[in-house]
A = this chain, B = another copy of it.
Amino acid sequence: MAMDALLDLPQLRTFYTLAQVGSFTACARRLGRTQSAVSHAMAKLEDLAGVLLLDRRSRGLDLTEEGRRLYQACEQAFTTLDAAAEDLKRHQTQARGRLRVGATVEFGSSILMRHMQPFLAANPDLEIDFTLSQDLLAPLLRDDLDLVIDCVEHPLPVLKKAPLFRETYVVACAPAFRKAHRLRVPADLSRCPVLSLDKAGAWWNRFLVAVPDRDQPHLDRFIAVNHVRAMIHAAAEGMGALLVPRYSVLEELERGDLVALFPSIRPTEDRFSIYQKKVKAAQEKQKLLTRYLQSLSPAEFGS
């Protein structure tokens, strides 16, 4: 018996995650893909299996009888494999030496720093420096940095790029602010102050390009605040509307300190990647950090 290409492994993995989180969209976020990708994958899996695995009728997504059986098998199998993979990692050579890491200011200060501790602990002989800055490419090229996490594209042949995660943005403001300014559509922003990371307001472009022409607001009352956390506090106090990475205001949205505006408008996303010089990317310490970062994104970063 051949029994080989009976089921597609990556699709099974997606199915497993989907069954755990209970929604295509959530599964996509967890895996760092789009909802569409998950949908396509499940369609193919069901086609290959020849049976429906998901019950899409009800809210909240059920598994069919067959789906449930398959899920149990997945659980056992993937638990085993993950444990084995974990095990492999443990026996990896520890890195030594020094590693100079660069990252964007917002990402570096809020997200990156909160997740480096386990890596540092696992590699006590590795000295790591962090440099948070807007300009990361130049220092990387002149070897002042070894590894850089950035959201702007650097398509240079000497650089190796490894995708990390995707960052989505939201427009939000204090609930009272929305009432006061009667914010219904993007055009309503014309009348009210908006918080921007830069004085010129270029910060808002990622939002504006996603707004259809007839709804375009004419933003002119900018309040410049060159610090994301500060912007968030200002917005919560009702100083203006803001545009920020979704992850940075999850708590505020949860608590109701801020409300999301215009949910149907999706500002352009940032794709964060790891950049390294190809020659140095082969070094054990750089590979180790790369793998570590990739292992926790996007579930930890994304949102």
Contact of A89 among B6, B81, B300 (CB under 8 A): B6
Say how far A90's CB is from chain B's closest CB, in angstroms.
10
Say how far A145's CB is from chain B's closest CB, in angstroms.
23
The size of the chain A interface, using a CB distance under 8 A, is 49
Residues of B contacting A4 in the complex (Cβ-Cβ under 8 angstroms): 13, 17, 31, 295, 299
Q: Give residues of chain A (1-55) contacting chain B, Cβ–Cβ below 8 Å.
A: 1-7, 9-10, 12-13, 17, 31, 48-51
Q: Give residues of chain A (265-291) contacting chain B, Cβ–Cβ below 8 Å.
A: 287-288, 291
Copies in the complex: 2
Residues of B contacting A70 in the complex (Cβ-Cβ under 8 angstroms): 84, 88
A254 close to chain B: CB less than 8 A: no
Consensus secondary structure, chain A interface: helix
Contact of A88 among B2, B50, B72 (CB under 8 A): B50
Say how far A50's CB is from chain B's closest CB, in angstroms.
5
A sample of 18 inter-chain contacts (CB < 8 A) reads A1-B299, A2-B298, A3-B82, A4-B13, A4-B295, A6-B86, A7-B84, A9-B10, A48-B291, A49-B88, A50-B88, A70-B84, A72-B84, A73-B83, A73-B84, A74-B81, A74-B84, A77-B77
